[in-house]
Structure 1
Amino acid sequence: MSSSSTITKQSKIYITGHRGMVGSALVRRLQKAGYTNLVTRTRAELDLLNQQAVHSFLAEEKPDYIYIAAAKVGGINANNIYRADFLYQNLLIEANLIHGAHLAGVQRLMFLGSSCIYPRDCPQPIKEEYLLTGPLEQTNEPYAIAKIAGIKLAESYNQQYGRQYISAMPTNLYGPNDNYDLSNSHVLPALIRKAHEAKLRGDAEYVVWGSGTPMREFLYVDDLADACVYLMESGYDGPLVNVGTGTDVTIRELAETVMKVVGFAGRIVFDASKPDGTPRKLMDVSRLAGLGWRASTSLEEGIRLALADFLTKQATSN
C-alpha cells in the first residue's frame, strides 16, 4: 500500500480538474497550508476519459491522496441539452479514477459531488440520509445519477476492500475561475455578468431566468476547499458529508445582492418562460459542523470577490 492514513506536508496529493473552479481552489488552499508535493495534469496531458491512461498514470505516481474535482459541469440549460454527455463523461471520469486509485493502492480519496444528487422535493434542509428517497429534478437527472454512482462506487470500495474513499457534497458554488458563459453557466456567475453588462450599456433593467421565487444556498469555492482540506487533515473516514453555509436566499434576493455589489441601479425583470429548477435546495450541514467546520465567507463578500475575478478575466480576454 502506498498511502497511510496520516497526511504530512510532503504527502503526494493529486488534484484532478485543477484548472477548474473547485480544483484551482483546492490547489490554492493546499499551497497556502504548506503542502509541497501537489500533482496536477491538464486535459491535454491526461485524458480522464481514457481508462488505460488514467490507470497507468496512477500506477506510476501512486499519490497518497486524491481529490476528484474533475467533472463535466454546467447550469440548468447545459444539463438539460447535453444529457448523454453529462451522464457518460462523468461516469467514465469517476470510474477510471476510483478504480484506478484502488489498483494503485491509494488508500485515501475524496469524491466531490453536487447537491443535485438529492430528490427534487425532499424535506428541507436536506440531510445526507435523504439520498435515493425520491425522484430527482428532471432537468439535471443524468448529472445527478452520475454523481450518485460515484458516491456508491466510493462506498463500495470501502466496504469490499477497506478503502477510505469519502464523498463531499457541496451546495451551489461560485468564485474564482467560474464559468460566465450566459448559455451554460450557473445562476450566480450569469447574474454577475448580466448585471455588469447591463450597467456598462446603461440599461434600465436586466432579465433573470424564472420566477425569482426558488431558494438557493451559495458557497464561496475557497470555503469548500477549506472544508475539503479540513476533512483530509482530520482523517475523516465516515459517510457522505454535505458542505454548505446552512442558509439560503431567493433568486430575487440573490439578483438584488448582485445588483448592489455591481453597482447597477436598474430593475429586475423575470423571464417566466425559463425553468426554475428545484423549488428549494438548502443543505443540512450539521454533520460537518459537528466535525468542527463552518463556512466563513458571507454571500455579499463572496460576490465582491467573484466580481473582481470576473473583471480581471474580462480585462485579460479583451
Structure 2
Amino acid sequence: MKKDLKIYIAGHRGMVGSAVWRALEKKGYSNLIGRTSKQLDLKDQKAVLSFLEEEQPAAIIDAAARVGGILANNDYPYQFLMENMQIQNNLIDGALKVGIEKFIFLGSSCIYPKFAPQPLKESYLLTDSLEPTNEWYAVAKITGVKLCQAIRKQFGKDYVSLMPTNLYGYFDNFDLKTS
C-alpha cells in the first residue's frame, strides 16, 4: 500500500490503536486519520457513515472497542456485547457502503473456545464453549470476524481479521475494576 494513502485508525488513542499509529508513522505513512470518541461516536451509524463518506479513506484499521477485564465483562455484559457490535458493525457496514476496499478488523484470541487445543488454529473457532468471564466481548468479536468473512465471500473485498494476543504496553489499564 502506498504510504501517502489515507488510512483511518478507529480507536487510535487506545493501547492497540495508538501502537498501530506509531508503527505506521515509523514506517513512513503520512496520511493517518483518527477521531476521538467525542469527535465521532462510533456507536452512531449515521455519524460513522457521514464521516467515511467525507474522509474517503483507502483503508480502515478497526482497533476501537469497549474493553475491560473479567470484572467489567461480568458486571456489564449488555454494554460489552451491544457497544462492541455497534462499533464494529457501523465501521464494517459503512466501509462496504462507501466502497472502501481494505479493512482490518482487530479481534481477540478470546473468540476461541475455552479449552481449545494449543497452539490455536483458525479452524477451532465456534467448535466449543467460550470462557464465561468474557463471552460477551467474544461473541461481539466473533460477529466482526464473520462480517469480514461474509464481505470477502460475497463482495470480494479485502476485509481481514487479526487476533492479537497477550497485549500489554503503553496506555494499558491496570484499574482493579475495569482492567
Match status 1:99 vs 2:93:
yes
1:13-49 CA distance string (max 9 Å, x none) = 0001011000100110111111110011011110000
Task: Tell me if 1:118 matches 2:112.
Answer: yes
- Which consecutive segments of 4 or more residues in structure 1 shift more than 4 A? none
TM-score normalised over the length of structure 1: 0.56
RMSD after superposition: 0.7
Matched, 1:131 2:134: no
User: What corresponds to 1:269 in structure 2?
Assistant: none
Are 1:59 and 1:103, in contact at CA under 8 Å, matched by a contact in 2? no
> Where does structure 2 lack aligned partners over 5 or more consecutive residues?
none
2:82 maps to 88
TM-score, normalising length: structure 2? 0.98
Higher alpha-carbon Rg: 1
Corresponding residue for residue 43 of structure 1 = 37
Where in structure 2 are the equivalents of 1:1-318 lying within 5 Å? 7-185=1-179
Query: How far has the Cα of 1:143 moved from its partner?
Result: 0.6
Look up the SS of the partner of 1:23 in the other structure: helix
**Amino acid of the structure 2 residue aligned with 1:52:** K
What stretches of structure 1 of length at least 5 have no aligned partner? 1-6, 186-318
The residue type equivalent to 2:65 in the other structure is A
User: 1:213-266 CA distances to partner (integer Å, 9 max, x unpaired)?
Assistant: xxxxxxxxxxxxxxxxxxxxxxxxxxxxxxxxxxxxxxxxxxxxxxxxxxxxxx
1:184 partner amino acid = T
Q: Deviations over 1:125-184 (max 9, x none)?
A: 111110000011111111100000000001111111111100000112000011121221
* Cα distance in 2, alignment partners of residues 87 and 8 from structure 1: 35
Residue aligned with 2:163, SS:
strand
Measure the CA separation in 2 of the matches of 1:82 and 1:111. 23
SS of 1:170 mapped into structure 2: coil
Distance 1:29 1:122 in 2: 31
> Which structure ranks higher in relative contact order (CA pairs < 8 Å, sequence separation ≥ 6)?
2
Question: Matched residues in 1 for 2:28 and 2:146: separation?
Answer: 32
Contact 1:13 1:64 (8 Å CA) reproduced: yes
Distance 2:82 2:49 in 1: 18
Aligned residues: 179
SS of residue in 2 equivalent to 1:174 = coil
Q: Distance in 2 between matches of 1:148 and 1:159?
A: 16
